Amino acid sequence: MKVGEVLPPLEIEITRTLIVAGAIASRDYQDVHHDADLARAKGSPDIFMNILTTNGLVGRYVTDHFGPGAVLRRVAIRLGAPNHPGDTMVLTGSVEEVDGDTATVRILGANAIGRHVTGTVTVTVPAPSGTAADARAEGGAA
Amino acid sequence: MNGRGGDESSRTGEGDGLAERLKGYEGRPATTGGVGRDPVNAPMIRHWCEAMGDTNPAYRGPDAVAPPTMLQAWTMSGLSGHADRPGRSAVYDELFALLDDAGYTSIVATDCEQEYLRPLRPGDEITFDSMIESVSGRKTTKLGTGYFVTTRMDIRAGDELAGTHRFRILKYAPAQRSPRAPGVSGSASDTARTGNTGAGARRPRPVVNRDNAGFWEGVGRHHLLIQRCADCGTLRFPWLPGCGACGSLDWDTVASGGEGTVYSYVVVHHPPFPAFDPPYAVALVELAEGVRIVSNVVGVPCDEVRIGMPVRLAFRRYDEELELPVFHAAEPAGTGAGGEG
């Protein structure tokens, strides 16, 4: 875990199923997340992913990379270009700051029409047992 | 703009009054003593993980914790709405009703900032309080014009603060849509692109009125017509009913020869608008006749546009009904202008 460490990109197919499943799993029944006709009536070309799903995907992206021991401390995201069905979002990230066992990761999720999400995730990654001192030294030096 | 009857519009007026009333909601509680519909529970965690494709073992088994990013989900009222939920203050509903009545009927979330202070586990009973942190001034966005409302929520498990959640939404009046809007014709996959990238989207139409109709008639014939005062001879552009120099209402026109220089310019990178493909150069071109016109410099990389650069008039067709004067870098040999086809 070093400043500048780049997380491998994660491609997420934005299917209608993902948008609806994410909305319902987050108990968000706003019609723009499941009803294309009503979404259009409100000025959107189609349904779009809700912010809670984006938040969940960003969290997953970071914990997938740092492993099941990683603990999310803070997720701060801003939405831009909406995630519509048929698009693909590519999540990328890089470690921007390291303080001891805690890293701040800058995240970008880009789709075909622009930046869907930008933000930062703060995550604590306990050092594997036996190397805690090394990890602290490394973190402190970063 | 709000699509309601005239009485509604005049009653709710769009003056400074609305902005002031909205500001009055800052600092007021949105929820007091809210209670989660269900305690933190394994089935909701599983549904969440399935939807997100999240296979993290920390969210499964007897020692499972909830994904921290589920924080807000535990506070959602779900399909049955807020009506019978404890804690929801009338203040928040009032604020939304005020915006709805003023025509800002649509809503989209823009920002979410969460801090996780303690893991949530199945069985945790959730309570929450929130306040309206800020209401922005009126903003124009790609979606439409509206107001950003930011709330801040504290979420507790039992008596312990488990997390904080700052949430910003835009409450907006949807921007005008083209008559060929989705839902009237075209497939969802076509139109999903149209609204956002400009492919297929059409440029805004000029407002043609009796004071400027002659200009647009000239554009149709590939002439850039400048008004000339019939009394004092002063040239003026853009078109106006009267002479700024002597006040005369009599005028005729001269056709620009098409030579000009870039007087000033900007390169637009952001935000993208439908039918516009950034980056593009918007220039104030000073014509050889002495008047200035706002237009685009085209056919040149944006970073090569410079103040003082010689340019030459052309006419570019954008769709079957819209043709606009644009400017190219002037050819050294002075080759002719004319349409781009």
Q: Express each pLDDT in A26-60 by its tens digit.
A: 999 999 999 999 999 888 899 999 999 999 999 99
The mean-pLDDT minimum among A64-68, A93-97, B79-83, B216-220 falls in: B79-83
* Residue whose pair of structure tokens reads 């989660």 in the numeric block: B36
Element (H, E) at B263: strand B259-268
**Minimal Cα distance from B144: which residue of A?**
A43
The pLDDT score that the predictor gives to residue B274 is 83
Query: Looking at residues B68-92, what average pLDDT do you find?
Result: 83
The pLDDT score that the predictor gives to residue A43 is 80
Give the Cα-Cα-Cα angle B131, B133, B134 (nearest 5 degrees). 140
Q: Do residues B238 and B287 make contact, with C-beta atoms less than 8 angstroms apart?
A: no
Q: Which residues of A touch B57 (CB under 8 A)?
A: 68
The dihedral region occupied by B333, where left means phi > 0, alpha psi between -120 and 50, and beta the remainder, is alpha
Strands (E), A1-142: 6-14, 71-79, 87-99, 102-111, 114-124
Q: In what order do the strands lie in the sheet with B225-229?
A: B235-236, B225-229, B251-255
Residue B321 backbone phi and psi in degrees, to 5? -120, -5
Residues B145-203: tens digit of each pLDDT: 999 999 999 999 999 999 999 999 999 987 765 433 333 222 333 333 333 334 468 88
Q: Do residues B287 and B310 make contact, with C-beta atoms less than 8 angstroms apart?
A: no
How would residue B48 be classed by pLDDT, with cut points 50, 70 and 90? Answer: very high
Q: Which residues of B touch A126 (CB under 8 A)?
A: none
Q: Provide the token pair at B180.
A: 């060929």
Asked if B188 lies within 8 A of A36 by C-beta distance, the reply is yes
The pLDDT score that the predictor gives to residue B183 is 33
Give the span between the Cα atoms of A107 and A36, in whole angstroms. 29
How would residue B85 be classed by pLDDT, with cut points 50, 70 and 90? Answer: low
The mean-pLDDT minimum among A24-28, A95-99, B78-82, B196-200 falls in: B196-200
> CB-CB: which of B54, B108, B189 is closest to A60?
B54
Residues B205-230: tens digit of each pLDDT: 888 888 898 999 899 888 999 999 99
Q: Provide the token pair at B70.
A: 């589920």
Bridge-based pairing state of the strands B144-157 and B160-174: antiparallel
Q: Is the dihedral of CA B172, B175, B176, B181 positive or negative?
A: negative
Query: Looking at residues B242-252, what average pLDDT do you find?
Result: 94
Q: Above 70 in pLDDT, residue A138?
A: no
Q: Name the A residues in 82-111 with CB < 8 Å from any B CB.
A: 82, 84-87
Q: Do residues B14 and B102 make contact, with C-beta atoms less than 8 angstroms apart?
A: yes
Q: Above 50 in pLDDT, residue B334?
A: no
Establish whether the linkage from the previous residue to B274 is cis, with ω within 30° of 0: no
Q: Is A133 on the interface with B (CB under 8 A)?
A: no
Give the span between the Cα atoms of B330 and B312, in whole angstroms. 5
> Residue A7's beta-bridge partner residues?
A93
Burial A20-56 (b: 16+ CB within 10 A, else e): bbbbbbbbbbbebbbebeebbbbbbbbbbbbbbbbbb
Angle in degrees, 0-180, between the axes of helices A51-66 and A16-25, rounded to the nearest 10: 90
Give SS3 for B247.
coil
How would residue B19 be classed by pLDDT, with cut points 50, 70 and 90? Answer: confident
Q: Provide the token pair at B289.
A: 């006749």
Residues B93-129: tens digit of each pLDDT: 899 999 999 999 888 999 999 999 999 999 999 999 9
Give the span between the Cα atoms of B202 and A132, in whole angstroms. 60
DSSP state, residue B87: T
Helices (H), chain B: 6-12, 16-23, 42-52, 90-101, 188-197, 213-220
Spell out the domains of chain B, with CATH numbers in brackets.
6-174 (3.10.129.10), 207-255 (no CATH), 257-341 (2.40.50)
Q: Above 60 in pLDDT, residue B239?
A: yes
Q: Above 50 in pLDDT, residue B317?
A: yes
Residue A27: alpha-carbon gap to chain centroid? 19
The pLDDT score that the predictor gives to residue B82 is 61
* Best CA proximity match to B76, nearest among B128, B131, B151: B128
The pLDDT score that the predictor gives to residue B8 is 32
**Minimal Cα distance from B164: which residue of A?**
A74
Q: Name the B residues in 156-215 with CB < 8 Å from any A CB.
A: 174-175, 177, 181-183, 188-189, 191-197
ipTM of the complex: 0.90
The pLDDT score that the predictor gives to residue B3 is 34
Bridge-based pairing state of the strands A71-79 and A114-124: antiparallel
Query: Looking at residues B258-283, what average pLDDT do you find?
Result: 91
Q: Above 50 in pLDDT, residue A9?
A: yes
The pLDDT score that the predictor gives to residue A141 is 41
Asked if A45 lies within 8 A of B194 by C-beta distance, the reply is yes
Q: Do residues A56 and B159 make contact, with C-beta atoms less than 8 angstroms apart?
A: no
Among residues of chain A, what percentage have pLDDT more than 90? 84
Spell out the domains of chain A, with CATH numbers in brackets.
6-141 (3.10.129.10)
Give the span between the Cα atoms of B326 and B219, in whole angstroms. 11
Q: Do residues A107 and A118 make contact, with C-beta atoms less than 8 angstroms apart?
A: yes
Name the average pLDDT for chain B.
84
